[in-house]
């Protein structure tokens, strides 16, 4: 499973989570840090990536346009990178099954 971290998620997570999510990338690393949500959405769709974001806009896109791409919406508001890291670690099994279940394209994590 390949995760694409949105601009509002720290790129440090690529190294911190590399053992669990070896194929994760950040929008910065693929030149999308100044791109619109629509451009990021299309990139994720074409490259079979799951968008990880704190942005409600991607959740709304998921509800409007369906999936793919799949979206993980980090819903805990202001939090540290370590807190996000721990949530993604704690929910590894859920995230691993998220894409294969294909019941919904949006996963809310708190």
Q: What is the pLDDT of residues 16-31, one digit of tens each?
A: 999 999 999 999 999 9
pLDDT of residue 103: 79
Helix 81-90 with 92-101: angle, nearest 10 deg = 60
For 47-69, the pLDDT digits (tens) are 999 999 999 999 999 999 999 99
Q: Establish how many alpha carbons lie within 13 A of residue 48's alpha carbon, considering only the half-sphere containing its beta carbon.
A: 5
Question: Is there a contact between 87 and 10 (Cβ–Cβ < 8 Å)?
Answer: no
Tokens at 82, concatenated: 């370590």
Integer distance in angstroms from the first to the last C-alpha of the chain?
20
HSE toward the beta carbon, residue 33, CA cutoff 13 A: 9
pTM, 2 dp? 0.95
């Amino acid at each position: 499973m390949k995760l694409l971290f949105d601009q509002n998620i720290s790129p440090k997570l690529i190294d911190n989570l590399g053992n669990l999510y070896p194929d994760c990338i950040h929008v910065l690393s693929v030149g999308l840090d100044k791109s619109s949500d629509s451009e990021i959405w299309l990139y994720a769709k074409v490259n079979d990536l799951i968008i990880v974001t704190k942005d409600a806009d991607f959740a709304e896109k998921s509800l409007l346009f369906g999936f793919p791409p799949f979206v993980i919406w980090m819903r805990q508001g202001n939090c540290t990178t370590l807190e996000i890291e721990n949530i993604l670690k704690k929910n590894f099994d859920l995230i691993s099954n998220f894409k294969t279940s294909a019941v919904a394209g949006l996963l809310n994590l708190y």
